[in-house]
Chain A
């Protein structure tokens, strides 16, 4: 078995992506994802010099469409799924004191 990835700290990464893990999740994910990351290191062995990166399977660039206005969803439709709303706007947790 390869050594677990010492650089991977699940608690730190969870913080970056705004997730809060329980102690149990932290321990479990640390172990599970360390073995996945070890597996990902397979690609370290390949010689990739001079190989361009593929971002999309089908390279399409600069796709334009006619700049013609079309109807938008009504405000009440857009807000229908909002967990909280106020005066026809999304309600957000206070950001400034």
Chain B
């Protein structure tokens, strides 16, 4: 039996009951990586020796006792590389400390194993902007796994990890999860600490799990969520046992269908899978309610103004002094900065730093940045109004299934517009999940369920009820 194909809950239970050991689990991942990662290239670094050392000391009684978890390459794990998919950091940087989510994983008995590939500094929707390698979609190797957490989603679909942690700034967990037929959860802003996570857009970034099932997602969220004195934006709200709360059914729950999310431009295959999923929710007893989120269309513009503005400030820290690439043969400080940054950053990162600098620059600040923040208020109010009427919102996670590799790389605007269904949730600070809901021409389709601020329990509950009533999550790519 291939242990690597087990879900997080299954391997945890196997270890707990003595049917497998933590060492078996790590070795199963090693074998699976040897067999399958050569083609997918979801990992940029793996340290099996350290993981095996930790596995030998694992405590099976803990909530995630002895289970290895894959980590997106922007979350600091002490003594491991953290390259953010960038030449700026690859090959030189090693983390001096653990991010809070890693500390929490370790306290729950889990073993951080492997660094998953990503768009450079999480800027992208296809993982093609990685400065390190190209990751392929396990369902079709000519297609992108989505992004920016493309590696974290691909390793789940390829069964080369039991579960992984990704990050979502504008859809970077939900979209790759949908492209790879996996479950991806973006928690409410402030639900999970960002301490030790390399910042892209600080008011939008959130860490979350990518898993094989909704139950796995719930289990992992309960471990990583909570107030952190090291991140002043974390919310002081109790963390429930989300997995225990999955039992309820969806009878009587109200599912909102925003008319702005069911528009032309969504592929027919995605539309029919999502429509069928919504009918299934109705069959399970949910009440469907048509709703409106009037500021959906400007959300893409608002997102690319605010996210790039924040990124331009956050990435100013890469100056070739304290860490990262430093250019050789330089004469003065200006040249030091320009050469180090220009050699270290890839094209998309440069584009976004320039865009962010422009919208913050004197003369344009009010026209772009301030106005975008005002529209953000309207987007937030849209969600507040809708969640006064419904429990969750249902929509496609992405207008299409996974793109062909290379399809959109020369057309940044078109690539940005592909995020239309995911980015408003980040601007509103609410939570959302993508669950597998079918296939279109052999590629997975994701159903997105959005919930209000701190509404993870209801989102997980609806996602779980849907998952249990369907078979999509059991499908695996043919190898």
Interface on A for B, CB 8 Å cutoff? Answer: 7-8, 10, 13-14, 16-21, 25, 29, 32-33, 35-37, 39-44, 46, 48, 51-58, 60, 63, 65, 73, 77-78, 80-84, 90-95
Contacts and interface: CB of A to CB of B under 8 A. Distances in A.
13 contacts: A7-B364, A8-B358, A18-B334, A19-B341, A29-B354, A40-B305, A41-B301, A43-B368, A53-B374, A53-B377, A58-B453, A65-B229, A73-B96
Nearest to A49: B374
Given A48-B378, A83-B321, 5 more contacts: A52-B377, A60-B235, A82-B321, A92-B321, A95-B333
A43 B373 CA distance: 11
A77 B350 contact: no
Contacts of A56: 189, 203, 233, 429
A85 B121 CA distance: 26
Interface residues of B, number: 76
Contact of B92 (A13, A19, A83): A83
A90 B372 CA distance: 38
A36 B302 contact: no
> Closest 6 CB pairs between A and B?
A57-B429, A53-B373, A83-B326, A63-B232, A81-B323, A18-B337
Interface string B91-132: 011101100000000000000000000000000000000000
Contacts of A21: 342, 350
B339 interface: yes
B321 A78 contact: no
B432 interface: no
Q: Is the interface of A mostly helix, strand, loop or mixed?
A: loop
Interface of B: 92-94, 96-97, 188-190, 203-204, 229, 232-233, 235, 297-298, 300-302, 304-305, 312, 316, 319-326, 330, 332-339, 341-342, 345, 347, 350-351, 353-359, 361, 364, 367-368, 370-378, 380, 412-413, 416, 426-430, 453
A52 B427 CA distance: 15
**Residue picked from B302, B321, B356, B380, most chain A C-beta under 10 Å:** B321
B376 A54 contact: yes
B332 A94 contact: yes
Contacts of B426: 57
Most buried by A among B188, B232, B335: B232
B358 A25 contact: no
Contact of A81 (B93, B304, B429, B430): B93
A25 B190 CA distance: 37
Given A46-B298, A57-B427, A73-B96, A10 B368 contact: no
A60 B355 contact: no
Contacts of B203: 55-57
A26 to B, nearest CB: 10
B298 A81 contact: no
B412 to A, nearest CB: 5
B473 to A, nearest CB: 29
Which interface residue of B235, B338, B416 has the most chain A CB atoms within 10 A? B338
A53 B376 contact: yes
Given A39-B301, A60-B233, A17 B189 contact: no
Contacts of B316: 17
A13 B355 CA distance: 8
A78 B97 CA distance: 10
A20 B322 contact: no
Contacts of A57: 189-190, 203-204, 380, 426-430, 453
A32 B347 CA distance: 11
Contacts of B371: 43-44, 46, 48
Nearest to B347: A25
A48 B375 contact: yes
B304 A54 contact: no
A58 B235 contact: yes
Contacts of A65: 229
Contact of B338 (A7, A20, A46): A20
Contacts of A53: 370, 373-374, 376-377
A65 B375 CA distance: 33
A46 B319 CA distance: 38
Contacts of B235: 58, 60
A55 B416 contact: no
A20 B375 contact: no
Contacts of B372: 43
A83 B320 contact: yes
A32 B342 contact: no
B94 A80 contact: yes
A81 B96 contact: yes
Nearest to B320: A83
Nearest to B411: A32
Contacts of A80: 94, 96
Contacts of B374: 48, 51-54
Contact of A17 (B94, B312, B335, B370): B312
A14 to B, nearest CB: 6
B380 A54 contact: yes
A56 B188 CA distance: 12
Contacts of A39: 300-301, 304, 413, 416
